Amino acid sequence: MKLTHFKDGNPEMVDVSAKAVTERIAQAESFVHFPAAAWKTLEENGFTTKKGALLHTASLAGVMGAKKTADLIPLCHPLPLTSCKLDFEILDHQIRVICTTKTTGQTGVEMEALTGANVAALTIYDMCKALSHDIRITDLQLVQKSGGKKDFKR
């Protein structure tokens, strides 16, 4: 297997000009885990904190993060996202963050989905850290992607 972002031992942005323009879709997830007391407080307050509506704010932050991926990851191509959607699943003492990104282009949107899921999770942490510093963000991973050379589904 060959790494694509190195040439002669130096980092290099991949030239995608010869690739076909296709619809690219990616989905990533992360999990935010809460201690029992913090979770109870969140539930009692309808998942609203002093900083505002938790999931609404995290959704906006995730979209903003996905749009800024090329500014954060040095070798990522700047992509015009055609869609970025954040979903949240309330589980037992945890929130599953799901970020789905789309574009029509010559390279995939996996990094944008991963960044969006991560920034949304970080925003949840930031908005809830007054309740506990024992909140954990775990299992950031690509769930699926399609539209490039090969599709992937976990």
**Residue with structure tokens 């969140």?**
42
Q: Which residues pair with 146 in a beta bridge?
A: 25
**Residue with structure tokens 């699926």?**
144
Q: Which segments of the chain does DSSP mark as H helices, in order?
A: 36-44, 54-67, 69-72, 110-128
94 φ, ψ (degrees, to nearest 5): -155, 160
Cβ 125 vs Cβ 62: under 8 Å = no
Would you tell me how many other CB atoms lie within 10 Å of the CB of residue 137? 18
Cβ neighbours of residue 89 closer than 8 Å, sequence gap 6 or more: 95, 96, 98
**Active centre residues (catalytic):** 126
